[in-house]
Amino acid sequence: MSFKSKIHLDKVPAHVAIIMDGNGRWANLLGKPRVFGHENGVQAVRESLEAAAEVGVKCLTLYAFSTENWKRPDYEINALMTLLVRTVRKEVDTLDEKGVRLSAIGDLTRLPGKTHKALLEAIEKTRENTTIDLVLALNYSARWDLTRAAKKMHRYLAEGNEIAAENAESLFAGFLSTHKYPELELLIRTSGERRLSNFLLWEVAYAELYFTEKFWPEFCKEDFYRAIVDFQNRERRFGLTGDQLKV
């Protein structure tokens, strides 16, 4: 029986994020170059997005390139950036037809010109769509975003604005690049690694974490559904006792 039929559609997480990991190791196990893994990772993106939209997830955030990934060999970085342009150009019409609104978080200005341009065009083309938000984290790291938010908050206060202590947290959250998306509820990481690698450190506060041994290019719709079912079987207490949740 498919995991899809076990999903309660009224309790689907509004925002799911994925650390898409293991492309290089998957390719190497097949005796292929790492870039082969990245190319095959595109199919897993399609499957996850389709699965997410089908069950009613409103926002899917994908970690595609971290600020630390610039330390990789030039040829791998170039291949990733080229793959991104090619994929965005090829998929934009399908995304648009399916009601996907594309956006991105991270410092996009450091991306190669062509990549940046293709991305902005696709974002513009899909901006009125409402079925699901697809957010690409590109040249993103959580510490970059938190530092940026702190600077914005400092500027806001320096301009003479005052804030009540009880409003400071939500004001700060409003300066993060994720402020326009729903609260993160489920974070998935593939490839068996159990770390966050500088991803959504603030947003993960009360998200459920789900780790799978599968490498990213192997991740399919059924794996996505399985993660949702796992999420739905957990008791999210938010600091309360289990008994308090029952009343």
Provide the annotated active-site residues: 21, 69
Which of Mg ion, ligand IPE, none lies near 48, with the C-beta cut-off 5 to 8 A by kind?
A: none
* Segment lying near Mg ion (by CB under 5 A), choices 15-23, 33-41, 42-50, 235-243: 15-23
Which of Mg ion, ligand IPE, none lies near 231, with the C-beta cut-off 5 to 8 A by kind?
A: none
Pick the closer one to ligand IPE by CB: 196 or 229: 196
Collect contacts of 232-235 with beta carbons under 8 A, ≥24 apart: 232/7, 232/8, 232/11, 234/208
Which of ligand IPE, Mg ion, none lies near 25, with the C-beta cut-off 5 to 8 A by kind?
A: ligand IPE
Which of Mg ion, ligand IPE, none lies near 141, with the C-beta cut-off 5 to 8 A by kind?
A: none
End-to-end CA separation in angstroms for the chain? 33
Q: How far is the CB of 140 from ligand IPE (least distance, A)?
A: 8
Pick the closer one to ligand IPE by CB: 43 or 197: 197
Instruction: Check residue 216 for interaction with Mg ion (CB under 5 A).
Output: no
Q: How far is the CB of 214 from ligand IPE (least distance, A)?
A: 12
- Sheet with 208-211, side-by-side order of all strands: 100-105, 132-140, 59-66, 15-19, 186-189, 208-211
**d(C-alpha 19, C-alpha 137), whole Å:** 10
Pick the closer one to ligand IPE by CB: 62 or 100: 62
Instruction: Check residue 21 for interaction with Mg ion (CB under 5 A).
Output: yes
Pick the closer one to Mg ion by CB: 74 or 162: 74
Collect contacts of 211-215 with beta carbons under 8 A, ≥24 apart: 212/188, 214/22, 214/190, 215/21, 215/22, 215/23, 215/25, 215/26, 215/37, 215/190, 215/191
CA-wise closest residue to 224 among 58, 91, 49 = 49
The footprint of ligand IPE (CB under 6 A) covers 19-25, 63-66, 69, 80, 191, 193, 195, 197, 216
> How many alpha carbons fall within 13 Å on the CB side of residue 44?
25
Binding site for Mg ion (CB under 5 A): 21
